A and B are shown apart, each in its own frame.
Chain A
């Protein structure tokens, strides 16, 4: 993050350094990076295509077949109606999943950050929180999800709560680590300016932990997608997980792959948005 003690940092002349959050690199570097990404995606589809050409259609279809299914069923997928999903398409089911992921991530993440940061400054809270985290963090989703379904029923709230629950646990850990990693000299310096605890939390602890917390939020977001889809497969009134469950029962390989591609693309898009937001919020890092 910092340059040496007496030498100018390499980005002093207006160039911006790269950080864990992906600070902007020069154009030619970004171009090369984009070409590698395109090559990676191309390689993935080539392997998929090759595998599909060797396997029967009942096992694997080509990327074009999957994309064709996605196009045909995005707004209206009549075959899903028989599974109690009503008149729906992949698009509206994805919207349900997306909103649950974000509501769960934001509520759970907010609780996690507050508890995580507070527990690094309040010893009694740390002593209370750590054993609870240790126990709850080890509960597998395969155990937690059926319990949540039994307690709260097959309603959207159940999936949101499940995502919020695991997001909170992860964000407590990320926030604790972020707050512990802040150099104590910053708080000591703020104290010599007369800053009390409230001002130190506002001006030192919160901005100082932002980059690491946002890094943790990216990992939590990726986990939240998996948790939400899994929770929907186990039981939900809607969502892309329910479509995956229905399409599995129908042995519909193109539909299944279409849903997987849809979730993957949306998850990557939300991650890119989060990275851009992080760059803006933590421009100093």
Chain B
């Protein structure tokens, strides 16, 4: 006779409500873990998108994401000629706000050379940019659709392709345009400003400026060695892909990551305390029944089994509800929530351990019950 099951069945509605409450709490914990993972992955997405080995940026900077970087566009030719470099491309990055359906839309505009590294990783819908002017590949999270036209700066672009999950570390959706369009968007002055500069005699600034040059290396080449070669030019900095990812994850989103990490840890502690209280209260409500069981001869293992099984059932059902809830709603979050199986498994393990430890409190109380308390009123 499974006493834990019988007791749960007897108070099924109340037990399920408790499980649901716990499930909501664990769902919030899972959501925070997912947001934390999403933040880290989002931060790395744009850096990983071009699938390159080396970032060449302005000297003494850690650009183009952590710090501003501007270098002449013709650096790409010089980088491409270095031994072990198989391909190189110039890229620009900038954030713009555009009008879209009556509201402001923040976009992370990436300019790249059509036949060189730096473009979108995969087109989910539509096609890549084919014309050299005024075409755009946008991320789906921007809300832009194929064929839609949107004004960036002084020019109107047509969306010809869509990507998935291409956002910057701030969560702004990425859009890809040609390098020439991006340079005009970023560096070309508006006519009145150009006239002012002309009057000052400083109108000769070149538009051929980029934020970085990205390079792919031969598979057998050492990125560190090639980076060292480039640094020797003195006026440039070279960052390997590995270092760029470290900068993004440890520097750029570090505070946000730690903030969410700390909040998640606090939530876990709160969840543990609540689980312990629920199980302890469930046990305290049954002290008279436990005393009766002890008096009629039930061994301690029967009573321990009842409490531990109920604690485990509570944790398992609560965790399942929480997981199902977050899996069901995670796509509605404004930023990406990434639930990886190992994260879910680790939380499941934590819930299991917490339930086990919490049931220890209940077991301790139950084992201290004097069977004599079953006698009398």
Q: Do A and B bind each other?
A: no
Binding site for A on B (CB under 8 A): none
